[in-house]
Amino acid sequence: MKIATLNVNSVRVRLPHVLRYLDSAKPDVLLLQELKCQTEQFPSEAIGDAGYNCAILGQKSYNGVAALSRHPIDEVVEGLPGDDEDTQSRWIEMVVGGVRYVSLYLPNGNPIDSEKFPYKLGWMDRMIARAKELLELEEDFVLGGDFNVCPTDDDVYDPLAFSNDALCQPESRAKWRELKYLGLTEAFDALHPDEVGAYTYWGYQGGAWRRGNGLRIDHFFLSPHVADRLVACEVDKDVRAEEKASDHTVLTCELRD
């Protein structure tokens, strides 16, 4: 079972990249973030022609998440519970083959002296609460996507330059650890505990991609029974190397059937 996640940074702009990836890598599940389009504008027909079913939660111009599957989708849940006034499209769940897959786009939180940072931390509290709920229900699940958190200084090319960034704040990192300490497994860390510089994001400014100035902010968290099936987790840089690519690349996770 091959799972992949990609912050696509506009699915309509990046559709050729997505279709090429689906054709070449043939993941069983692909989680997408930052669609930047409303649900009805998502290229469902093209994705369907490629052999994939879609669960979509779009939003005009911003945010938006989707989960694609080569297999039938049994259930879809739209939105992260816990705040009925939150209208940002950042969370979608689909159940495929008895496993619940979540595509999430965690708030960036910058600048930290604005209302955006408390919103980020509150959103993370709701994410932790949902994960606790799924664990109590003894569900098998995968949380994948753009977490907008660099867990340690090893996950950012210049820690000093990012010392005031929401992605690297002690509060953000503490909540990331709180999620992990529920008993979840962060797939990449589990298999590459000593690897430094396994970035998943390189901004468009200052030649970041060419210079290797990246961040590791895309992650997979696995519930205990799913973690028992983990065999691989890798950063696929080929997608970021394409012309007019997203500023993120693909992170893959493989599970035994």
Identify the pLDDT of residue 79. Answer: 98
CB 176 within 8 A of CB 137: no
Q: Which amino acid is at 35?
A: L
pLDDT tens-digit readout, 112-145: 999 999 999 999 999 999 999 999 999 999 999 9
Q: Which domain holds residue 170?
A: 2-255
Residue 151 — pLDDT band, cuts 50, 70, 90? very high
Q: How far apart are CA 94 and CA 74, in angstroms?
A: 7
Q: What is the pLDDT of residue 132?
A: 98
26: which residues sit within 8 A by CB, 6+ positions away? 2, 70
The pLDDT confidence band at residue 255, using thresholds 50, 70 and 90, is: very high
Reported as a pLDDT band with limits 50, 70 and 90, residue 179 is very high
pLDDT (average), residues 17-37: 98
> pTM to 2 decimals?
0.98
pLDDT at res. 10? 98
- Give me the CATH number covering residue 131: 3.60.10.10
The number of folded domains in the chain is 1
Average pLDDT for 66-84:
98
- Count other Cβ atoms within 10 Å, centred on residue 10: 14
Q: Residue 178's pLDDT is what?
A: 98
Q: What is the mean pLDDT of the chain?
A: 98
Distance of CA 34 to the CA centre of its chain: 10
